[in-house]
Amino acid sequence: MKEEIKQTHLSHFGDNISTFYFSPATMLVLGEGLDNLKGPTLSFATDKGLWAGVSARDDLMLHIHLNFHADWFDLSVDLSNLQKQQSSIYARLLVSMIKKLQYEGYKVSKGLNVSVVLDHTLPKNLGMHPNYLMLFMKIFVHQNLFKLSSDKMIRYAFYAEKTLQELNSSIVHHVTCIHAKKNHLLKLDIKTLAYENIPFDTLNHQLISVFVARPKFIVNADITERLKAIDKATNDIREARAISYLSELSLQAFNDLKKHIGKKNIVPFVEHAVFEIDRVIQAIDHLKASDYVMFGDVLEQSQNSIKHLYDLSNQYYNDLINILMDEYALGARLSQIGYDQIVIALFEKTDIPKDFKSYQDGFYKQYKKSIEMETIHLSKGIHIKK
């Protein structure tokens, strides 16, 4: 990958790279939508993501070449004129983050040429916006010699993304980009941003990702509808019990109070989210006890809840997960990634399918839909590549 970026950078900018950076793609194992509840989540970083090569300029311009496989384009940001309107979301994200840094007293004044290359295709936008922002946060901090804590890097990047109001943002991915540890999953308490790296038995177990290529059946409006429903239900319950977040309630307390939710049709959405908090806690306990059978069972419970309560699965994914379970997966569930969905399946290594192609061919023959499958390797967070 370094050689590819070197050649791209040299041909595009005519100069040599001084520093390489890597920002991992991130995925949630459990806990989508729990930001509103301030509950726990379980996530990880992969060994795939965004690579960047950087060289210095002697002016106040950021010239950026993005190569996302079939999509490539160039961005320019003038550090002396941040008010200029930007047509690209990737430029707007950077400007938003630079403004936040400057507001906090960190002057971004180093002109740079930057080549960015995506080294995965499953799916193309896997965790894209958080790891793109965290990549450039690392570049700005390192190139401008800022003394900026990891906590502030996360908060400023997340603020920049939220300020645009164009994306479904979750701080989980920003934290995971920074704090992920190789061969570990990351538990995050959304309320406090306290995190813990949980060892994962990579010697005997393997996570596999499966992506069904189009048609996309979940859109931002679907997610937004459910998050608004959770907010509305929380307000209804607050009229009966003084709470700040639903995560403060035990399952028994929630079951006693859910009768106060005004719109009964949204109760299943809220039930899924509340029960998911308990599933995250159970999953972490099973991982710490090295009980991967029960960890897989929690993944299966979560998928059933996604399907029957949260109503965010369809027949393609339901059938795919059933196929994986029939082939001895310990558990599998649908995970929401950016604007796409991906199935995460847990296997004992001795039971991993020997030939992904047979799965792909069989699925295409039945559904006329392509699937992409990869083994997942758990990586550390964003870092400078030597």
pLDDT average, residue stretch 212-220: 58
10 Å CB burial of residue 83 (0-12, 13-18, 19+) is exposed
Which residues, 6+ apart, have CB-to-CB distance to 23 below 8 Å? 49, 50, 52, 131, 132, 134, 135, 138, 177, 382
Same domain, 157 and 261: no
> Do 187 and 246 sit in the same domain of this protein?
no
Pair (121, 225) in one structural domain: no
- Domain annotation covers residue 372: yes
Residue 222 and residue 110 share a domain = no
Q: What pLDDT is attached to residue 221?
A: 58
- DSSP letter (8 states) at residue 14: S
- For residues 46 and 115, state if they share a domain: yes
Give a yes or no: residue 382 inside a domain: no
The percentage of residues in the chain with a pLDDT greater than 70, rounded to a whole number, is: 94
Is 386 among the domain residues? no
Show the domain range for 157.
Answer: 2-201
For residues 283 and 317, state if they share a domain.
Answer: yes
Retrieve residue 365's tokens: 């023959």
Give the separation between CA 1 and CA 48, rounded to whole angstroms: 11
pLDDT band of residue 68 (cuts 50, 70, 90) is: confident
In a domain, residue 42? The reply is: yes
Does the pTM of the predicted model rise above 0.85? Answer: yes
Q: Which residues contact 300 (CB under 8 A, 6 or more apart)?
A: 325, 331, 332, 333
Residues 97 and 228 in one domain: no
Rounded to 5°, angle at Cα 373 from 370 and 374: 155
At residue 367, the pLDDT reads 84
Query: Are residues 66 and 178 located together in one domain of the fold?
Result: yes
pLDDT digits (tens, 9 = 90+) for 304-316: 999 999 888 878 8
Q: What is the mean pLDDT of residues 97-125?
A: 88
Domain-embedded: residue 383: no
- Look at residues 140, 169, 201 and tell me which one is the last residue of a structural domain: 201
Boundary of a domain, candidates 142, 167, 201: 201
Together in a domain, 196 and 297: no
Name the token pair of 386.
Answer: 């030597």
Structural domain tally of the chain?
2
Q: Do 182 and 227 sit in the same domain of this protein?
A: no
- Say yes or no to pLDDT of 4 above 90: no
The CATH number given to whatever domain includes residue 59 is 3.30.230.10
Identify whether 381 is part of a domain. Answer: no
pLDDT in tens, 254-271: 999 999 999 999 999 999
Residues 234 and 151 in one domain: no
The verdict on 190 and 285 lying in the same domain is no
On whether residue 134 sits in a domain, the answer given is: yes
Q: What is the mean pLDDT of the chain?
A: 90
Count of C-beta atoms within a 10 Å radius of residue 115 = 26
In a domain, 289, yes or no: yes
The CATH number covering residue 354 comes to 3.30.70.890
Residue finishing a domain among 153, 184, 201: 201
Report for 71-85, 121-135, 276-290: range of highest mean pLDDT: 276-290
